[in-house]
Amino acid sequence: MTSAAEQVMANVNWGTLRKAEELQKRLLFTLGVLIVCRLGSYLPLPGIDAEVFFQAFVGSRRSIVGFFNMFSGGAINRMAIFALGIMPYISASIIVQLMAAVLPAWSALKSEGEAGRKKLAQYARFITILIASLQGYAVAMGLQATEGVVASPGWFFVLSTTITLMGGSLLLMWLGERITAVGVGNGPSLIIFSGIVAEFPDAFVGVLELSRQGVLAGPYLLAALTMMILVIGFVVFMERAQRRLLIQYPRRQVGRELLSGQSSHLPLKVNTAGVIPPIFASALLLMPATLSSMSAGRAAISGEGPGIFERIALFLAPGQPLHAIVYIGLIIFFCFFYTAIVLNPEEIAKNLKKYGGFIPGVRPGDKTAEYIDYVLTRITVLGSVYIAGVCFLPEFLVTWADIPFYFGGTSLLIVVSVTMDTVAQIQGYLFAYQYEGLVGKTKLRKRQR
């Protein structure tokens, strides 16, 4: 059953895109910024031997390095100035949202309107600087600890690399904010999306090469392609899945006119948390590896053995059983945690009671809040299992099923959700343009009469 909004959007005439000049400018600006982001992922860091680093990277494709290479669009593989990607800003934004739900002072800023949102955005930028500087320092120490990668090791290399990586991440943050303000879609999500999609041709060619070499037989290749189509279809279905609660409004007296009762729906998405749980779970799993790189660099300089962070990072590396357990547990936890932040049943029930709406068979007020919380908890269980299963799929295929290519996981969720959101926003612009043209024609006809 489609909603009224979806039925309206289905009637949007895409032919009006040629006439919508404002939308064309936004699309061209977005495309230009994404091209700049891709060019930056090919500019190597100064002072490193790219060939030696690439050889070291090839051996770690199943490690935490290869696991996070997809978020940077291959920039880690090339150790480019955009190697950190926009993940520090994503992590900082999530931290601000979580703190706004915990700290009363930050929570009050959300209710102050545009001024409060700007202040929270400023906090996110400061936290981004902190996270990017720590990650840049960890990468510099890790590079310096790898033999033959750095031409001239020392404090100058560590300082210059940290500043370069931090500057690249901050530039991506600024470009992402500009896309959101001037372009089309969510800027940070589109930057991650472009990096993931840019790696698809190489991955597809790699799979065909494996089939040509006989590593992946023809029937297995056909089965793998069929599985890809089915998984993508399943993800699209689950991202659109909703539980709609019937909301009834009583009759109202407006002046002398008596309006009949109306009904609507309260849509509750099965995946209310979106891609936030796997991203935040991945960021937490990256922390031991980050601390391990920092301590490894110090150990290489001082001649000490591996420390506790190296051991923890080894146990939590992709392919290890503990990594799968912790990763799935964190995803399920953040599904419930972030859903509780995004949707507040008590606030929803309060607003329904304020405007006279009620759920048939449920008393307004606390009972309505309890019922909404009950329904939300049940669908969140299904949503968390769905996200955990999709995100665990690539590790299962690569590690346990021994299928030699990476498919699914957070990257697939990001591609599907960002594509759906961006298309919906473009449809919104086109519908607004059609509506303005319809209003203009109606006014013109009235004047002619």
By C-alpha distance, which of 326, 313, 337, 335 is closest to 395? 326
- pLDDT, tens digit, for every residue of 310-324? 666 666 666 677 878
Other Cβ atoms less than 10 A from the Cβ of 28: the count is 12
pLDDT score, position 58:
54
Task: Extract the residue ranges of the chain whose pLDDT is less than 70.
Answer: 1-17, 56-68, 70-71, 215-216, 218, 251-261, 287, 289-319, 398-408, 434-449
CA dist., res. 228 & res. 411, Å (int): 13
pLDDT score, position 16:
66
- pLDDT, tens digit, for every residue of 377-419? 999 999 999 998 888 877 777 665 556 555 567 778 888 888 8
Place of tokens 């932040």: 341
The tokens for 24 are 């064309």
| Secondary structure of residue 184 in the 3-state scheme | coil
| CB-based contact 288:431 (threshold 8 Å) | no
Place of tokens 């392609």: 225
> Could you give the residue range(s) of every CATH 1.10.3370.10 domain in the chain?
21-201, 238-407
CA dist., res. 197 & res. 177, Å (int): 20
Q: Where would I find the H helices in 21-103?
A: 21-40, 50-58, 64-69, 75-78, 87-102
CA dist., res. 10 & res. 8, Å (int): 5
Environment class of 411 (CB within 10 Å of its CB; exposed 0-12, middle 13-18, buried 19+): buried
| CB-based contact 37:194 (threshold 8 Å) | yes
By C-alpha distance, which of 406, 385, 396, 290 is closest to 329? 385
Other Cβ atoms less than 10 A from the Cβ of 214: the count is 8
pLDDT score, position 178:
92
pLDDT score, position 17:
67
Q: Are strands 252-254 and 257-259 parallel, antiparallel or unpaired?
A: antiparallel
3-state DSSP helix/strand/coil % of the chain, to nearest 5: 75, 5, 20
Query: Dmax over Cα atoms in the chain, in whole Å?
Result: 91
Environment class of 353 (CB within 10 Å of its CB; exposed 0-12, middle 13-18, buried 19+): middle
* Cα-based distances in Å from 413 to 120, 193, 332, 362: 27, 10, 15, 35
Instruction: Give domain 238-407's CATH architecture.
Output: Orthogonal Bundle (1.10)
CA dist., res. 231 & res. 208, Å (int): 20
| Secondary structure of residue 118 in the 3-state scheme | helix
pLDDT score, position 384:
92
| 21-201 topology per CATH | Preprotein translocase SecY subunit (1.10.3370)
The tokens for 327 are 């990763």
Output DSSP code: residue 245. Answer: E
| CB-based contact 285:330 (threshold 8 Å) | yes
| CB-based contact 414:192 (threshold 8 Å) | yes
Phi, psi dihedral angles at 285 (to 5 degrees) = -70, -25
The tokens for 84 are 């950190």
pLDDT score, position 143:
81
CA dist., res. 278 & res. 298, Å (int): 31
pLDDT score, position 256:
63
Q: Are strands 257-259 and 242-249 parallel, antiparallel or unpaired?
A: unpaired
- pLDDT, tens digit, for every residue of 420-434? 888 888 888 887 776
CA dist., res. 284 & res. 280, Å (int): 6
